[in-house]
Amino acid sequence: MRAIPASSTTSFLCLNSLVLVLAIGATVAFSEFTGIGFSKFPPWLFGLSLFYAGNLVCYKWLLIRTPRRTGIMAPGSRFEHEHNLLVLYFLFYLYPISFSKLLIPPFTSIWHRFLGARIGKASFPSACLIGDSQYVTVGDECVLGANSILSPHISVGNYYALEKIELGNRVTIGVQSVVYGGVRIGDGALVLPHSCVTPGARIGPNEMWGGNPAKKVKDIRPGDRAWQGDAVPTTATSRRPSQTPSPATKAVHAEPSVVVPETPSPNRAAGDCRLAFAFVETEGNGAAQGLAALPPS
């Protein structure tokens, strides 16, 4: 983790001092001109509200005037200085709201748009953690799972970079998945829960990815009744009511479970976390009963 230099901290404190002086002056002026004495109205509450609102205005002003630069952030560069200012404002004034999970839809979308994210219609990142929102683009009708993370910044030791994250329409990000900077996800794609999409990955339209690091599992075909990995036998999804179920299908029908193949799937590298859906037939209607993370083979 690269330390924030003193120059950025000094600029942040100067802006805060300016806002503080203006907030105090506005509080005194409000009491003078309205005739409401401090005995009837708590001045600290009004002044604190003005101070917080003023810092939100400063953050938005910095966000508008700061170019959305991408790439490696050189130490001591203007790129680093501008980003550090935004980071300090975020940590002190925005982090408690963004990561508190107190906001509910549609206020989550409004909040992240204020922070610079581009979010389409009917996409509500209610429990998704988004860092550096100005680098994130989310299409229409996307599902961002609980505790999933969109992280445009890439930090390894002293190396620090920022890259955009672009999600198409109807993209699903599974629970507790992480998507790093430089990732582009096409329309209708699915990232399985507990997956890690590494920097620079390209996920095509209607593709299912999963694992750590995430790899392509399959193409999602029109008419699929459930998201299922290659660890689920085809008999569980292709059976018709008139057919006699196989023993494996009866087992799936009886208890929701994940059927593990005897040999590792060729689509997954050794050591990856293998994910699969258990598809269960219930009174003739398909129902996805759950997701399981299987131990590495």
* Cα dihedral sign, 133-139-145-149: negative
User: CA 214 to CA 216: how far, in whole Å?
Assistant: 7
Distance of CA 258 to the CA centre of its chain: 27
What confidence tens digit (pLDDT) does each residue in 140-191 have? 999 998 889 999 988 887 888 999 999 999 999 999 999 999 999 999 999 9
What confidence tens digit (pLDDT) does each residue in 33-49 have? 766 655 566 777 888 89
What confidence tens digit (pLDDT) does each residue in 64-80 have? 888 888 889 888 889 99
Look at residue 12 in the predicted model and tell me its pLDDT. 94
What confidence tens digit (pLDDT) does each residue in 94-143 have? 888 877 777 777 788 888 888 889 999 988 887 788 888 899 999 999 99
Judge whether residue 285 has pLDDT over 70: no
Percent of the chain beyond pLDDT 70? 71
CA angle, 112 then 194 then 118, to 5°: 20
Ordered strands of the 118-119 beta sheet:
118-119, 136-138, 165-167, 184-185, 202-203
Look at residue 276 in the predicted model and tell me its pLDDT. 30
User: CA 209 to CA 193: how far, in whole Å?
Assistant: 10
Tell me the backbone φ, ψ of residue 21, rounded to 5 degrees. -60, -45
In the chain, % helix, strand, coil (3-state, to 5) comes to: 30, 20, 45
Look at residue 8 in the predicted model and tell me its pLDDT. 92
Percent of the chain beyond pLDDT 90? 39
pTM above 0.75, yes or no: no
Give the up-direction half-sphere exposure of residue 207: CA atoms within 13 A in the CB hemisphere.
Answer: 16
Look at residue 248 in the predicted model and tell me its pLDDT. 45
Look at residue 174 in the predicted model and tell me its pLDDT. 92
Judge whether residue 225 has pLDDT over 60: no
Domains of the chain and CATH, by start: 1-98 (no CATH), 105-222 (2.160.10.10), 235-294 (no CATH)
